[in-house]
Amino acid sequence: MSKNKVTQGLLLTLVLMLVLAGCGGGKNNNATNAANGGNTPATDATANEQKVTINMMHLWPAGVSAQQNKLVNQIIDQYQTDHPNVTIKEEVLDNEQYKNKLKVLSASNELPDVGITWAAGFMEPYVKGGLFAPIDDIKDGTLLKDKFVAGTTEAYAIDGKTYALPIELNISPIYYNKAIFEKYNLQAPTTYTEFKEVVKTLSENGIAPIALGNKDRWTGSLWYMYLADRIAGNDTLKNAIAGSGSFDDPGLVQAATEIETLVDMNGFNKGFNGLSNDEGKAEFMNEKAGMYLMGTWELPNFTTNPDIPQEFKDKVGFFKFPTVENGKGNIDSWVGGPGVGLFVAESSKVKEEAKAFVEYFVSKWGEDSVTTAGVIPATKVDTTKTELPQLYVDLLNELSKASSITLFADVQMKPSAAQVHLDMIQALFGKAVTPEQFATKHKEAIEKGN
């Protein structure tokens, strides 16, 4: 009996607390609204003295992107010290969650003041919907004028206005484990035939040749893009995506066929279609797989990240995606491009402060990302000043030699076509569609527009 009474009492308390919490919440909101209306508008000329909070959302959790996370915090700390009236509030999500949350927030027009976006097709709906603020003024501002590598900011411009500033410039090499290659007497391949030979040897020896987490799907897209580039030449895929060419192109169909061949050869780690990119990467990091195709944003894990044993880092080398015999592609053409950039929300109440912060962030990132994070910024790098890891220097040299850099297919496309592309990639790798169906579905999606 007494137990019953206690339960009842507890329940009652809980209910009352909920009611109170509900009422309390309302009051608080009113209070802050009043305060906002009353005296904070940050856009005021007197804003200098006002306390300002800038909300920033980014995608470098300390767990999987330790170095970037460290760098972001370093920049924010520095900025807050320099501007005591400014508080930067961070919200951190991992890549896929980030993309989802951005869409949810934009549907209710509640974007953070500063956030991360991808270029081109990805950002188009946001720009068309008036959610991002044009930030040409800070692009040409004192800190950033003439600092960007040529061609990087263009990917973030729509109708002549720039809506985000890139902080990364990436190319995607194939990283490989030198120790594993040595053990089986393998050389880094330069032609596709040699590459297949490597795949065959590793597979026969019970090592997964290629680490891939294709649940995220853009990971598999990299393989298709490279094969398309090497077989059909640099512009064919680009034109097919733009609608001026076609996915029926025999070269593109052959690229899809080659994917099937690689799958048939057991080229990828087991269960790749059910693993996320991080899980796929783990296969490479645990030395269970020999190769891993990924953007240079992974470099910190192979160079500067102190949590990864030096012994492993020393084993990592890279090679360029091999050329295909009789293909139209060129070994110095890369898949990559400006990675992520920073935007300022149009609806932000602290737009000016946010812009100033972005300007500072991008320029500071450019100076420190090389040494602290080991990623390649979109701003020009002065390599003479600092001691850099060899892997990094080599890739930087490759970047300057690049004959062309093709932007990731899912970023080039508009969202709905991009989803079809990604779904088709997973289906192709899972052998649920033939290369011909793969081409047809793409064609339909591109023709549909958005």
Rule CB under 8 A: say whether 1 interacts with another protein: no
Q: Total residues at the site for another protein (CB under 8 A)?
A: 37
* Least distance CB 432 / another protein (angstroms): 5
Rule CB under 8 A: say whether 430 interacts with another protein: yes
Sign of CA dihedral 297, 298, 304, 305: positive
Rule CB under 8 A: say whether 51 interacts with another protein: no
Rule CB under 8 A: say whether 106 interacts with another protein: yes
Alpha-carbon gap, residue 287 to 267, rounded angstroms: 15
- Which residue among 9, 243, 271, 306 contacts another protein (CB under 8 A)? 271
* Least distance CB 23 / another protein (angstroms): 9
* Least distance CB 391 / another protein (angstroms): 27
Alpha-carbon gap, residue 260 to 233, rounded angstroms: 20
Say whether 296 sits in a helix, a strand or coil. helix
Structure token digits, residue 448: 């549909």
Rule CB under 8 A: say whether 7 interacts with another protein: no
Is the distance from CB of 87 to CB of 54 less than 8 angstroms?
Answer: yes
* Least distance CB 128 / another protein (angstroms): 6
Rule CB under 8 A: say whether 84 interacts with another protein: no
Q: How many CB atoms lie within 10 A of CB 92?
A: 17
In degrees rounded to 5, what are phi and psi of residue 257? -65, -40
Is the distance from CB of 241 to CB of 412 less than 8 angstroms?
Answer: yes
Rule CB under 8 A: say whether 273 interacts with another protein: yes
Rule CB under 8 A: say whether 45 interacts with another protein: no
Rule CB under 8 A: say whether 94 interacts with another protein: no
Nearer to another protein, 87 or 286 (CB): 286
Given the structure tokens 């149009």, which residue do they identify?
346
C-alpha distance from residue 270 to each of 200, 206, 237, 274 (Å): 15, 11, 29, 9
Alpha-carbon gap, residue 58 to 67, rounded angstroms: 14
* Least distance CB 405 / another protein (angstroms): 26
Residues in region 128-147 near another protein by CB under 8 A: 128-131
Tell me the chain's radius of gyration from C-alpha atoms: 25
Which residue type, as a one-letter code, is found at position 449?
G
Rule CB under 8 A: say whether 24 interacts with another protein: no
Rule CB under 8 A: say whether 34 interacts with another protein: no
Give the footprint of another protein on this chain (CB under 8 A): 19, 22, 96, 100, 103-104, 106-107, 125-126, 128-131, 214-215, 217, 269-275, 279, 283, 288, 415-416, 419, 423, 426-427, 430, 432-433, 450
